Amino acid sequence: MSESAALELKLPPKVPGEKPGTGHMEEFNVNFARFLMRCNAECGELAEYNMAGQQTVLMSGPEAQEAFLKGLDKQLSRAAAYQAMVPVFGEGVIFDAPPERMKTQLKIQVDALRYQNMKSYAQVIAQEVEDWVAGWGDEGEMDFLDEFIRLTLHTACHCLLGADFRYKMTEEFKSLYHDLERGLQAIAFVDPYLQQPIFAARDKARARLQELISEIIAERRANADRQYGDALETFMSGTYKDGTHLSDNEITGLVIATMFAGHHTSSGTAAWTAVEFARNPEFTPEVLAEVQQVYAQGGELTFEALRELPKLERFIEEVLRLHPPLVLLMRRVIEDIDYKGTLIEAGKTVAISTYGSHRNPDYFPDPERFDPRRPQANTAQLMWAYIPFGGGPHKCAGNAFALMQLKSIFAALLPRYEFELVDAPESYQDDLSAMVLKPSSPCRLRYRRRQP
Ligand code: HEM
């Protein structure tokens, strides 16, 4: 945009309450979802806040969210906004790859989550859920967040790296994964290369994880005629335009990136779904009847059968409205933007808040009320207001996988057990202390075998 054209435009309103040096960072760190709602309430569709010097413009409302989500990479870059992920995914992987290579890597990642693999993933997940429930007995009490973190780590490893790896999964693997996760604290978004023990542990874990995954890759190359039906198989067979395969470093990066995209998003949603079933028992009979009908037809919970559970799906969609795991999506502005007469300058960050959008009473009346019977969000009016999976070119590649997994879990649990809250209903809150929203700990529920 020319300088004179830019001068004609307004600048986004600034959010009050900035502190010298740190800007709004402190308030953001206390509860960033609420902070973002304040930004929108006080400034409107565009609101500029300051994260220790990084000016960020929050874009709110369906129109602004659509413009954000449909933005082209050359204007609104995800890579520049998510540099904190580079040491975790690895050099040359996704956000650190040149645009053409990044495109191919993302395509190969999407391929691994497509229909052809989904049938075998559905079987794997059903088996994992059966193994998990087998030891429950008639009644008990447990922390469902911890349980779902464990279950979805098992399903993720199984679907990504195959049965051999999953059943040999070591404490070493879990602790490496944990070190990678710890490397993504808020400070990593300011500078992921600071001299800090958590970053040193992150880098050591990334290197060791590559050694472990390279061993599996080497073993598979030596047994080229075996079929696995897992994501690693798709990653290993994918090629760039010139026919070359991905390196071990790139394959490791895709495995990590897919785990990071899918693991806590799924475990947090599963835990919130269990809590909402316990907190809103009036909706259980209709969901249960639907699931029992599949079983009554002699059905197993195959991938096809799971697609036919609209009431359970609506219940999960309402969970995702109130508790969207990815609260904040970000991009870096590469070229100046004229958004309806306001200039958003290159170099700034833009962000949207799924959490705030899903609580906008203009689109979701009485927004704090859990109600799976709300009008479905697949209308033109609600499409860009209901955005738990994002939208546009970078819409979640794993949304079919995620819904299939959640339906598989609850279609197996609901006919067998009833759930009750252990603690006071208001003590189950959204925990926003990490990048991915989850229920606060402890997330205790009581379960009791359902009487026939
Ligand atoms: C309830 C569960 C999930 C939710 C709410 C969710 C949400 C999202 C959102 C909002 C985005 C867009 C991010 C952006 O625009 O910056 C995204 C991207 C992505 N998600 Fe998910 N996700 C979930 C589960 C999964 C699972 C299980 C997987 C994989 C197994 C997955 C893989 C991905 C990938 C690969 C992308 C990047 C797509 C691209 O860059 O083109 N997600 N997800």
Angle between helices 115-133 and 144-161 (to 10 degrees): 140
Q: For a pocket test of ligand 1, which of 66, 154, 189, 396 has the largest count of ligand atoms closer than 8 A to its C-beta?
A: 396
Ligand 1 pocket, 256 CB below 6 A?
Answer: no
Can you tell me the distance from the alpha carbon of 354 to that of 78, in angstroms, rounded to the nearest whole number?
17
In DSSP terms, 420 is beta-bridged to 446
Q: Is 71 in the pocket of ligand 1 (CB under 6 A)?
A: no
Terminal Cα-to-Cα distance of the chain (whole angstroms)? 69
Distance CA 118, CA 176 (A): 27
Is the minimum distance from the CB of 398 to ligand 1 under 6 angstroms?
yes
All CATH 3.30.43.20 domain ranges in the chain, comma separated? 1-89+327-387
In which residue ranges of the chain is CATH 1.10.630.10 found? 91-325+394-452
Rounded Cα distance, 172 and 449, in Å: 36
CA of 329 to the centre of ligand 1 (A): 11
Query: Which segments of the chain have a pLDDT < 50?
Result: none
Kindly report, residue by residue over 310-351, the tens digit of the pLDDT. Answer: 999 999 999 999 999 999 999 999 999 999 999 999 999 999
320 vs 322: CA distance, rounded Å: 6
Give the pLDDT of residue 300: 67
Task: Convert the pLDDT of each residue in 378-420 to its tens digit.
Answer: 888 899 999 999 999 999 999 999 999 999 999 999 999 999 9
Neighbour tally for 34: CB within 10 Å: 15
Q: Which atom number of ligand 1 is nearest to the Cα of residue 395?
A: 12
Q: How far is the CA of 265 from the centre of ligand 1 (A)?
A: 8
pLDDT at site 296: 73
The class level of CATH for 91-325+394-452 reads mainly alpha
- Residue 398 Cα, ligand 1 centroid: separation in angstroms? 6
- Return the CATH fold of 1-89+327-387: 3.30.43
**How high is the pLDDT of residue 298?**
65
Among residues 193, 181, 179, which one has the least CA distance to residue 433? 181
Residue 111 backbone zone (phi > 0: left; psi -120 to 50: alpha; other: beta): alpha
From ligand 1's centre to the CA of 399, what distance in Å?
7
**Secondary structure, 3-state, 263-290:** HHHHHHHHHHHHHHHHHCHHHHHHHHHH
Distance 267 CA to ligand 1 centre (A): 13
Q: For ligand 1, atom 35, which residue shows the shortest CA distance?
A: 397
Separation between Cα atoms, residue 347 and residue 374, nearest integer Å: 40
Cβ(253) to ligand 1 under 6 A? no
Atom of ligand 1 nearest to the CA of 268: 1
Q: For residue 324, which atom of ligand 1 is closest to its CA?
A: 5
